[in-house]
Each structure stands twice: as structure tokens, then as C-alpha cells.
């Protein structure tokens, strides 16, 4: 399973939570109505999730079923 990836400190919290929720980037994008490019950029640390729109993070957290703070690095 993805247990190795979930415990990998190189992954962002968003990536770990998404993988634990068994969602692809595409699925999360569609369910949360957040552009997939944003998700990719946050997970690759190209853009800082701490500076993301609150609405985006709130929708991600709702889909993943976690708190907003759980996604912030």
C-alpha cells in the first residue's frame, strides 16, 4: 500500500492526507473544486500552501475530512 509514502517526511501534509484519503490529485481537484495545478504546486512546494486562498484550503480539508491546520506546512 502507500504506507511508505504516507510516512515520508519529504511529502507535504497535503500530499500525505490526500494519499491517506485514497484520492488522486485529479479526484481531490474535482471534489474540492480547486485547480489541479494549485494542488500540484503545493505538493511540490512550488507555491506555499500557507499563502493559499482560505476557501481553497477549507474545501480541501472538507473533502479530505481534516482540519485546515492539518494541511498547512
Mean pLDDT of the chain: 91
Confidence (pTM): 0.86
**pLDDT digits 0-9 by tens, 44-54:** 999 999 999 99
Grade residue 3 by pLDDT with cuts at 50, 70 and 90: low
> What are the b/e assignments for 13-34, b being 16+ CB within 10 Å?
bbbbbbbeeebebeebbeebeb
Mean pLDDT throughout 5-17?
Answer: 79
The predicted pLDDT at position 73 comes to: 83
53 vs 7: which has the higher pLDDT: 53
- Tell me the C-alpha distance between 44 and 16, whole Å: 12
Output the CA torsion sign for 34, 37, 42, 47: negative
Output the CA torsion sign for 11, 17, 22, 27: negative
Amino acid at each position: 500500500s502507500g504506507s511508505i509514502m504516507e510516512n515520508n517526511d519529504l511529502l507535504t501534509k497535503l500530499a500525505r492526507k490526500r494519499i491517506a484519503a485514497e484520492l488522486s490529485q485529479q479526484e481531490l481537484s474535482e471534489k474540492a473544486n480547486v485547480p489541479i495545478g494549485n494542488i500540484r504546486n503545493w505538493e511540490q512546494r512550488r507555491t506555499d500552501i500557507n499563502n493559499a486562498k482560505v476557501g481553497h484550503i477549507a474545501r480541501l480539508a472538507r473533502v479530505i475530512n481534516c482540519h485546515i491546520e492539518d494541511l498547512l506546512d
